[in-house]
Structure 1
Amino acid sequence: MGQDNCKPQPGDIIEIDRPYYQHWALYMGNGYVIHVTDKGDASILGSMASVQTPWPKVKKELLMKVAGCDKWRVNNKYDRNWSPRPVKEIIQVAEKCIDMEVHYAVNSINCEHFFIRLRYGLAVYVLDKDADGDTAAAVIGAVFAGAVAVAAMVLSKM
């Protein structure tokens, strides 16, 4: 399907509209994204399976393969609140995450949180949403010990 009105740039967060949920990825450049999925090979089914396993894997695949026929868009929704890391740093940290197993919990430490951590260097917990679905409030800190631990693991390998 494609995304709305602009070409993704390295370091952009990509939101993919699945039938019953949103899948998230990070654009790496040259048509590739990294995303959190199951350990199998099927991206479309894999992103759904990641909801069912507590330790999915970070994979690098073509955005068109990951999105399939689903609509997608760049969604750097926190740019108005926080400055993203430099693109080179985002990509360096993201590259180190490829093939890493990460902790996953659909309601607390999910793929959206993982990519927010990569882009902004922050652990973010959404507390509330307004009628438009934009984040109305967020807490930064060690709310998600697992997300912080994963981030620390990635940064320590740099």
Structure 2
Amino acid sequence: MLCFCHNLIKRNDIVPIMPQPGDLIEIFRGTYQHWALYVGEGYIVHLCPPTEAAGAGAYSLVSVLCDTAVVTKESLEEIVGKDRFLVNNLLDGKHKPRSVYDILRDARSLLGLEMPYCILRGNCEHFVTELRYGKGESRQVYYALDVGVRAVAIGMKALNAASNISCVKSKQKRILL
């Protein structure tokens, strides 16, 4: 039985959901989220870059530079540390979850394997959504790319506006001379 319910996040003051085998676990690390698959009895399976550890915090951002990670089974309590976590089967409305038997079988078969790790195409969220739904997706990547595209668009608009202001001032100077 899990003894660290205080780390479980509540959504809208609803009683938090205790993880069940096959559930996706979202662990909040401050600047990003780490993802794992709950396999029962307090354990998770996750894609673990060398820098991902409980309480790694900002240092765990170094995982962006890693190109491989190992599939490990560890205590959820140990990996969560002082951070918070939440059961988040985020794509259940979009994709039908595979059977718990298939999810756990495939997770066990990958234990100990070193796998390619890419923050954009093969991160811990891709890994667990592949196990649960048969399709790897990362909302973090979608959101980060969306924010990046918006920032570039805003920057381009600002440059365009600055250029237009400069052109108007230049024309005004010529008229005055």
The bucket for the TM-score relative to the shorter chain is 0.7 to 0.9
Is 1:80–2:80 an aligned residue pair?
Answer: no
How many Å separate the matches in 2 of 1:96 and 1:50? 24
Match runs of 1:57-136 below 5 Å: 57-124=70-137, 128-129=142-143
Name the residue aligned to 1:33. 44
2:64 pairs with one of 51, 55, 58: 51
Query: If the length of structure 2 is used for normalisation, what is the TM-score?
Result: 0.65
- Structure 1 residues 42 and 73, CA, compared in 2 at 3 Å: closer, same or farther? closer
Give the SS at the match of 1:61: strand
| Greater alpha carbon shift after TM alignment, 108-117 vs 46-55 | 46-55
Do the aligned residues in 1 keep the contact of 2:52 with 2:63 (CA within 8 Å)?
Answer: no
Q: Could you list the runs of 4 or more consecutive aligned residues of structure 1 that deviate by over 6 angstroms after TM superposition?
A: none
Residue 21 (structure 2) aligned to one of 6, 10, 17: 10
TM-score, normalised to structure 1's length? 0.72
What 5-or-longer segments of structure 2 have no aligned partner? 1-6, 11-15, 144-177
- Note the C-alpha offset of 1:125: 6.0
Aligned positions, number: 129
Structure 1 residue 51 displacement after superposition: 3.0
Aligned-residue offset at 1:38: 3.0
Q: Unaligned 5+ residue runs, structure 1?
A: 130-158
- Bigger Cα Rg: 2
* In 1, Cα distance between equivalents of 2:70 and 2:125: 14
CA spacing shift, 1:95–1:75, aligned 2, 3 Å: same
